[in-house]
Amino acid sequence: MFRINPHIYQETHVNHTSYKRLFKLTLTLMLAGCASDPAIKTDAPHPNSVTAVPRHSAEIQAQAFPGPYTNSLPVRNFIRHMVLEHGFSESYLKDLFSKAKRLDYVIRLESPEPYHGPKPAHPKSGGWTRYRQQFLTEAHINDGVAFWSNNADTIQKASATYGVDPEYIVAIIGVETFFGRNVGKTRTLDALTTLAFDTHRRAKFFTQELENFLLMTREESYDPLQPVGSWAGAMGLGQFMPSSFRTLAVDFNNDGHRNLWDQCDAIGSVAHYFSRNGWQRSMPVANQTKNYNGDSTIELSAIHGSEYWHVHPNFKVIKKYNNSDKYAMAVHQLAQAIKQRHMMVADNRQNGPDSLTLLQK
């Protein structure tokens, strides 16, 4: 809408007659503009409503309301790469990145401010105990048993297909997303764009993941503005990064579409991930020892002193998912706890409904 310049009203050298003439001229222009442009409406939609926008107006909108990446040179170079290397439409990608948001909290999480305070007199012990307490809870164990029961056929099929012990398939999903409760709420395009172009430590890695994300959305016919996940770009119940999605996710329910937010596809994909990284079914993962005994021993800091564990090749397979001894041990111990509770429930069902109360104890 045409607006009168407010500085006109502040001009002290314009006399009253000039002011009246100027006002009449301005009013005439306003009325003429409104009469000649039927697209101007006063009944604009509420900001929270969803309005379909024709494709041909996308570039006009991007110019009128530029996002933080609309005129970014690194983004333009990335778009050029995607056009030349993978045949994407330049106008499509320009429109897409004009809608991407820079997320300050993602920048802070990836590049936290260095700590300049005093160093503690003694290193804080018990890191493993505190980490373990996040995942070895009654809620995780009981929900793991319920998840296994609700997806029994799929888990059995995945275990048989890929040669992976079922309790570890369940435990990974439990540790990663609490069986689908915490898949993340950050839009993946925003997270990866921010990490690729506004951080430095792992910018190359996240640029590659952004590339894989766009290829993934094209291959699976996803709207790239829709997927959400972690602040680092991990997606679905198993929290796959886009590169892992493209190489290891499977269409386990045979619907022609890989969907890691679907329980069936997530279960099959986690099992496939383990299989491709060398999992050995029914083989040991870790067993506790009294002291350090070579390279196959790890030390975990517990509240009441260090724990020493002899780890086997399957433990290292879990670390392919997340390269942390504490993470792999949490998955291992949660898997064993869920398996034990699962077997207890199965036995109780065979012995009668009254004995199910043992589960509550």
Specify the DSSP element, H or E, that contains 235: none
Task: Look up 176 and say whether it is catalytic.
Answer: yes
Cβ contact 327:310 at 8 Å: no
Phi, psi of 186 (to 5 degrees): -85, 130
Give the dihedral sign, CA 40/42/46/51. Answer: negative
d(CA 221, CA 240): 18
CA–CA gap between residue 81 and residue 79 (Å, rounded): 5
Closest CA to 264 of 279, 274, 251, 273: 251
Q: What CA–CA distance (Å, rounded) separates 135 from 316?
A: 19
- Both tokens of residue 113? 């401010």
H helix runs in 37-137, sequence order:
58-64, 73-86, 90-98, 104-110, 127-135
What distance in Å separates the CA atoms of residue 258 and residue 215, rounded to the nearest whole number?
13
What is the number of residues in the chain?
361
Which segments of the chain does DSSP mark as H helices, in order? Answer: 16-36, 58-64, 73-86, 90-98, 104-110, 127-135, 138-150, 152-162, 166-177, 188-198, 203-220, 242-248, 263-276, 313-321, 325-351
Coil, strand or helix: which one is 252? coil
Residue 325 identity (one-letter amino acid): D
Chain-centroid distance, C-alpha 199: 17
| Catalytic site residue from 167, 176, 209, 211 | 176
Cα separation of 345 and 209, whole Å? 42
Catalytic positions: 176
